[in-house]
Structure 1
Amino acid sequence: MMLPKGTTVAVADGEKLNIFRNSGDEANLKLAPTTLSDVDAESSGSGSRQDSSGNPDGNQSAEDGFSAGIVAMLNKSVLDGKVHGLVVIAAPRALGEMRKHYHKTLSSKLLAEIAKDLTGHSVSDVEAAIKAA
C-alpha cells in the first residue's frame, strides 16, 4: 500500500499507542514518530464486558477503555483538522473495540486498518506491514 505524505499511522493495542506520520512520499514510505495528544485511559469501552464474579476480567475492561480513549483522541484530531489521512494498525481485539467508537469523519479519513499487534515492533516492521497491505 502506498500512503500520501503526511498520513498519520496509529499503532495500538490495549495498553500502548505509537503515532507516526509518513514524512516520505507515496513511493517512499518513511514513518517518523509524532504525537497528537494524550489518551484518556479512563474512557469507557463499549460496555460489552462487565466486572463481576462471573466475569472477573477487569484488565480487559481497562484495555477496552484505553482503546476507546485512543479513538476519542483520534476523532478529536480528525475533527480539529490535524489528521487528513489515517491508517490504524492494532491488535485484533483492540481494533474491534476501536471500530465501535469511530466518528463518521474519522471513517471518511481512514485509508486502511491492519489487524496486527505491532506495538512492540520496530518502525521498519510497521513500514513492512503497511507495504504488504
Structure 2
Amino acid sequence: MILSPGTLVAVVDGETLNLFRNSGTHTPELTALPSASVPDRTSGTAGHRSSSANPDNDTQAEDGFAAGVAALLNQMALSGEVDDLVVIAPPRALGELRKHWHKALEAKLVGEIAKDLRHQTPDEIAAVIAKA
C-alpha cells in the first residue's frame, strides 16, 4: 500500500491507541505522534451485554475503548485534522470500530489492516503497510 505524505495511521487494540503520521512518498515512513486522549466509554455497541458471545467485562471494556477511539477519529475527520487515514487493529477491534465510524471518517479511510501490531516499532508497522 502506498500512502500519501501526511496520512494518519492509527494502530489500535482493546487498550491502546498509537497514532503515526506518514512522511514517506514511495514507501511508508512513520513518525509517532503524541498520545491522544480517548473519550471514556463504558461499553461498546448499545445493547451489548455479557453472554456466551460476549462473556466478560474485559470484552465490554475493549468494545468501549474501540467506541472511544472511533469517536476521537470521527472528531478528527470532522474537524479536518485528517485527510487520509489507515487503521490497523485486530479483527475483533476493527469490527467494533466500524460500527461507530461517521460517514466523514469513512470517506477519509484509505486502508484497513486486520492485525495486532501494538508491540511493533514504527519501522515494522511501515513494513506491514508496504506489503498490504
CA distance in 1, matches of 2:18, 2:79: 20
More off after superposition, 76-85 vs 38-47: 38-47
- Which string of whole-angstrom CA distances, capped at 9 and with x for unpartnered residues, describes residues 68-92 of structure 1? 0001000000101001000000011
- Which string of whole-angstrom CA distances, capped at 9 and with x for unpartnered residues, describes residues 77-132 of structure 1? 01010010000000111000000001001000000000000011111211111001
Task: Tell me the TM-score normalised to structure 2 length.
Answer: 0.92
Find out whether 1:62 has 2:61 as its counterpart: yes
Find out whether 1:96 has 2:92 as its counterpart: no
Q: What's the CA shift for 1:9?
A: 0.2
Asked whether the 8 Å contact 1:43–1:68 carries over to 2, the reply is: no
Q: Secondary structure at the match of 1:45?
A: coil
Asked whether the 8 Å contact 2:14–2:93 carries over to 1, the reply is: yes
Residue 6 of structure 1: aligned partner: 6
Superposed, 1:62-81 pairs within 5 Å as: 62-81=61-80
Find out whether 1:16 has 2:16 as its counterpart: yes
CA distance in 2, matches of 1:19, 1:107: 17
- Which string of whole-angstrom CA distances, capped at 9 and with x for unpartnered residues, describes residues 16-75 of structure 1? 1100000222x1321001147410132531135314799650000000000000010000
Please give the root-mean-square deviation of Cα atoms over the aligned residues, in Å: 2.0
| AA aligned opposite 1:40 | P
5+ residue gaps, structure 1, are: none
CA distance 1:130–1:53, change in 2 (3 Å): closer
Percent sequence identity over aligned pairs = 51
CA distance in 1, matches of 2:110, 2:84: 6
Number of residue pairs aligned between Structure 1 and Structure 2: 132
Asked whether the 8 Å contact 2:86–2:112 carries over to 1, the reply is: yes
